[in-house]
Amino acid sequence: MSSRDWNTIGAQAALPRWIRWAIPPLLIPLAGITLLSIFWDRIPPHFGHPLMARTPLHVFGFAIFAEGLAVLMVLTVLTIWYGSGRPAAVSPGLKVPLAVAYMESLIFTAVSLSQLSYFPPWSIAATVPLAVLALIVYLLRSMSEPDGGSVATPDECWSLSGIYYNPKDSALFVRARVGYGYTFNMANPWARRIMIGFISGIVVLIGFLIWSLQ
């Protein structure tokens, strides 16, 4: 491989500046776990209902779920960033999973902190609608922004208006024609693997949350 090829790979591998915004949603659940650990004695022996004992699994369950989901969203952003084959372009669609990460981190961390006796219940009631409203506003604003990373795709490679299959295209992700964001290039062998991995991650996290509530 020539030095020019290596330089090209290095340029494409650079992360966008806005990726730094992926740090807060990863830290919010960890901060919640830290607070719960510090004020462990202020958590009632039984909370929620008599079967919910003050055990690490019950206490930290929501925060761990929030952390896992935030990690999954950030990995989704990075996968799309590298898999689009055009990482030099900044697309508003890439930021949507980060917005989801913020929303779920705030909501589930707030639910986790509600176990502290001094934590005001109204804070959760305020967090949920505010987080959802902020996500909706962000999505609407992002959809109106120009997408500098949009590249034309052949019409004949699209089926059912939303499924893209092009063996000649090395990109793993392309801009979706229906809806907003990106879609897989189903001709890429990694497409099915990543889809299975993402779905498996969601199933595992939901299974863990249900288990932690038992």
**Would you list the domain boundaries of the chain?**
22-147+189-212
What tokens does 50 get?
């008599």
Q: Which helix (H) or strand (E) holds 33?
A: helix 23-38
Question: Crossing angle of helices 122-144/96-113, nearest 10°?
Answer: 180
Please state the separation of Cα 177 from the chain's center in Å: 22
In tens, the pLDDT along 4-37 reads 333 333 344 466 677 788 899 999 999 999 999 9
Q: Is residue 152's pLDDT more than 50?
A: yes
Predicted pLDDT of residue 103: 85
pLDDT, the chain, mean: 78
Q: Cβ distance 41 to 18 under 8 Å?
A: no
How many CA atoms within 13 Å lie on the side-chain side of 211?
10
C-alpha span between 62 and 32 (Å, rounded): 10
Residue where the block lists tokens 């369950």:
61
pLDDT tier, 47 (very low <50, low <70, confident <90, very high otherwise):
low
